[in-house]
Amino acid sequence: MQSISYNPAGADPQHQFDVAVVIPTVLRPKLIRAAQSVFAQEGVSSVQLLIGADKYDAETTVFDAIRSLCPPHCTLTIIDLGYSTAARHGGVHTAFDGGALRTLLTFAANSRFVAYLDDDNRFAPNHLASLLESIDGKEWAYSLRWYVNPYTEQPICIDEWESVGPGKGIFADQRGGFVDPSCLMIDKLACLSILHRWSSLHPDFYDPDRNFFEGLVDRPHGATELATTYYSLSPTDPRAERQFQHLHDLTGEMPSNTAPPLISRPVQSRFTGPEKVFCIGLPRTGVGSLGEALRTLGLAVANSPDDEASIEAHQAAVGGNIADTFEQLDQRYPGSLFIMTVRKHGDWLNSCSLFRQTNEKDLSAAARVTGFQKRLYGGARFEGKVVSRTYTQHLERVYTYFANRPLDLLFLDICGGGDSWAPLGAFLGLSVPEQPFPHSNRLSPRMETSPFTQLINIPMPSGDDN
């Protein structure tokens, strides 16, 4: 078994958290977005995110990407047993979606209050705070949810039909109602006697979610009356046909049962209005590579534009000064899309130090570069203690600004070695080429692996393997 608890500020995980969030996963691509929605929670001082890996075929580098995004008020705990506890994968527990993982992770959470999130769903920023308020003096609480089109990721309407609470909705008579696990928060000490229900199927409904809800339904509970969960409809769900028909009856539209084709018209027609594409990642996170990729897709890209006219004349812009001023750019160019390039924290520190060492004269001579360095890094020079905090501070700034606009922001880990074309193309709505994703401004392998950081006194985080 492999497990790790990580906090970028070095906080002690033994300290009890205000709330914990449990995500069982098979490493679906949307896991990063689900984790981001937990990290973006407002009104909660400390959050533990527990991710448990069931059987999976994807690369576990997704964990490194999530770890690099973890803000100081959150602690990330990853548990990978090395095998599945679910019977369908050879385990002994009949729950098909993770076996005993929800039960195990609930017990492992270092908080009395535990919320749940499926890896293809996400929270609104006020989800946990509103549930904590509602659960006060109760054994559990729940929120409402939005139905989300699985192809466009756009909310369709609030679910007033299925996950609406005890004694309500289409399941009221037969099952006493229902609440989606992604809408739940429980007091795990008050609910100890029913935690095992997560790991087995209901004898009548063959569903572990309803099995657990049956144990909750008669217990004292609170309700937020707010739709703060975004539930992505699944075309492969046995209930999909009924759900899609219901949505058609309500809205007059049917979510397509096939993914829409990527935009095939020339890219220039996609970005001809005021909207732009801006890279707001810090230098040495793959900014140059993203610029090349955008050019490959047909966009005119400004590299560290000096003035407004240069931005106006291009469809996209990259560079440290873009990261420095993204809030103003958003106001100036409404409807724009923003790409936050990210990188493993330790690798980023090492690359920054090496690049700085080899380009000191050129960088110190550029007053414009020095200006945004002071704003982004706290000084014109790379001071060890200051720059170590820069990455997390910039992430927090981006998280806070885009907390209510998840569709306008893409986190992209180009340096991690995964497929960057797919998420980039899907985000921009553009067809992508078959050629490898570009990688520019790479330092030599010898330099990337050398202990050069000691020369400019940038401390590497202890035990940092991301």
DSSP assignment of 323-370, as one string? HHTHHHHHHHSTT-EEEEE---HHHHHHHHHHHHHHSHHHHHH-HHHH
Angle at 399 between CA 397 and CA 404, to 5 degrees: 125
Lowest mean pLDDT among 128-137, 315-324, 417-426: 417-426
Q: In 3-state terms, the chain is what percent helix, strand and coil (to 5)?
A: 35, 20, 45
Q: Find all residues with CB under 8 Å of 422, minimum gap 6, and list them.
A: 432
- Cα gap 84→100, rounded to integer Å: 9
Lowest mean pLDDT among 118-122, 128-132, 284-288, 458-462: 458-462
Instruction: Mark out the alpha helices in 203-344 (DSSP H runs).
Output: 208-216, 240-251, 287-296, 308-312, 320-324, 326-332
Highest average pLDDT, of 20-24, 147-151, 332-336, comes from 20-24
For range 362-389, the mean pLDDT: 56
Q: Where are the beta strands (DSSP E) in 163-314?
A: 165-166, 177-178, 184-187, 221-232, 277-279, 301-303
* CA dihedral over 95, 97, 98, 101, signed as positive or negative: negative
Highest average pLDDT, of 67-81, 215-229, 282-296, 375-389, comes from 215-229
- According to DSSP, the β-strands at 277-279 and 177-178 are unpaired
- Cα gap 388→390, rounded to integer Å: 6
H or E element, residue 155: strand 155-158
pLDDT digits (tens, 9 = 90+) for 170-223: 888 878 999 999 999 999 999 999 999 988 876 665 578 888 999 999 999 999
Q: For residue 234, what pLDDT is reported?
A: 78
Instruction: Look up residue 423 and give its two tokens.
Output: 């998420």
Q: For residue 253, what pLDDT is reported?
A: 63
Closest listed residue to residue 415, CA positions, set 437, 395, 398: 437
Beta bridge partners of 229: 123, 145
Break the chain into its structural domains and give their ranges: 2-251, 267-456
- Cα gap 408→330, rounded to integer Å: 10
Q: For residue 378, what pLDDT is reported?
A: 58
| 3 state SS of 445 | helix
> How far does Cα 11 stand from its chain's mean position?
21
Beta bridge partners of 116: 22
Residues in the chain: 466
Identify the residue with better confidence: 224 or 58.
Answer: 224
pLDDT digits (tens, 9 = 90+) for 78-131: 999 988 888 877 888 887 778 899 999 999 999 999 999 999 899 999 999 999
Q: pTM to 2 decimals?
A: 0.59
For range 390-417, the mean pLDDT: 77
Structure confidence at residue 366 as a pLDDT band (50, 70, 90): very low
The CATH superfamily of 2-251 is: Spore Coat Polysaccharide Biosynthesis Protein SpsA; Chain A (3.90.550.10)
Structure confidence at residue 240 as a pLDDT band (50, 70, 90): low
- Asked if 95 contacts 200 with a C-beta cutoff of 8 angstroms, the reply is yes
Backbone angles phi, psi at 257, to 5 degrees: -90, 10
Q: Find all residues with CB under 8 Å of 337, minimum gap 6, and list them.
A: 275, 276, 277, 278, 408, 409, 410, 427, 428
Closest listed residue to residue 93, CA positions, set 189, 45, 180, 24: 24
Instruction: Look up residue 365 and give its two tokens.
Output: 């001579």
For range 141-161, the mean pLDDT: 86
Closest listed residue to residue 12, CA positions, set 77, 100, 102: 77
The listed CATH number (3.30.1130.10, 3.30.70.1340, 3.20.20.150, 3.40.50.300) that belongs to domain 267-456: 3.40.50.300
